[in-house]
Homo-oligomer: A and B are copies of this chain.
């Protein structure tokens, strides 16, 4: 289940930097796991790692070739596939978070079998889970929730885990999406699980642990998104958070890919507490994380300070200002355990 590291990041002939978003995410959060980048002729992306051939990467100790780019139009080009086969033959595992099955690409399943290598299709979940039990488990859990999809939940979760770990707290990032899994080395794409087992998979991701241990869980979707609220609710019930952080992007007018309005932060706090109490009666909001890229510095600072006062909660943009204020609040609200 665990993806072996270090990684060689495959950038193919990505047409621009944006196409290598997954690779950038990995390099941002786990540079120490990345041994190099593999770029083909014409590649316009560069994540700042040293260029390595498959042979050079294997010699340097690489264990997994990670596809770090998006495949425009859903097709996976043959000249990319050839590199995957070559990597498998050289002794690397292969991992991708794309909407493809590696075994369906020509020659890949055979090369993996012949060389005893693992294929990681992170958007698919073949693992069997139990249905959720809803019983309280030992340990502490934090979940990020959002006013919408794509409002910084993954980034916020990683930033909080990093800050908690830097302060010596006992914390693990728990991935629920494909890029998060590559950053964590393990996890479950919760939206790929059969729906009967959403809560059960979330329980599996956040098992019983030490009393002072924090699972810092990557949220998905929004309770107010008509496409994905079921996933969000199952993840909330299964991860039974003690604490949650609301993520918000202030300039968006409608929810992603649908015409529904963005809910208010108040609504998200209230609904998350209302629904979350089913599996954790002590659930509480410990902060607001604002994705303020659209604002100039002063406007961002004023807006975030305004929200902090209005809700009497720490508010920050973890990209601009770090996640310190939220971790301060966690340590205030969970003192004995958080400081143990």
Contacts and interface: CB of A to CB of B under 8 A. Distances in A.
Interface of A: 131-135, 190-196, 198-200, 224, 226-235, 237-238, 257-260, 275, 278-279
This protein's copies in its complex: 2
Contact of A226 (B227, B260, B278): B278
Contacts of A227: 131-134, 196, 199-200
A232 B229 CA distance: 10
7 contacts: A132-B228, A134-B226, A134-B227, A194-B195, A200-B227, A229-B278, A230-B233
A135 to B, nearest CB: 7
Contacts of A193: 194-195
A226 B194 contact: no
A193 B195 CA distance: 6
A232 B278 CA distance: 15
A192 to B, nearest CB: 6
Nearest to A132: B227
**Which 4 A-B residue pairs are closest in the complex by CB-CB distance?**
A134-B226, A230-B234, A191-B196, A132-B227
A230 B259 CA distance: 22
A98 B178 CA distance: 31
B231 A196 contact: yes
A49 B231 CA distance: 43
A100 B199 CA distance: 22
Contact of A192 (B134, B135, B192, B195): B195
A275 B232 CA distance: 13
Given A132-B227, A237-B226, A278-B226, A195 B200 contact: no
A191 B129 CA distance: 13
Contact of A229 (B200, B234, B258): B234
A257 B194 CA distance: 19
A131 B227 CA distance: 6
A31 to B, nearest CB: 31
A149 to B, nearest CB: 10
A192 B199 contact: no
Given A199-B227, A229-B278, 16 more contacts: A132-B226, A132-B228, A133-B227, A134-B226, A135-B259, A191-B195, A192-B195, A195-B198, A196-B227, A199-B226, A199-B229, A200-B227, A224-B278, A226-B237, A226-B238, A229-B237
Given A226-B132, A230-B233, A278-B260, A195 B199 contact: no
A193 B238 CA distance: 18
Contacts of A275: 229
A228 B260 contact: no
A266 to B, nearest CB: 14
A196 B228 contact: yes
A170 to B, nearest CB: 26
Nearest to A192: B194
A233 B192 CA distance: 17
Contacts of A226: 132-134, 199, 237-238, 278-279
A213 to B, nearest CB: 22
A164 B191 CA distance: 37
Contact of A133 (B229, B230, B258): B258
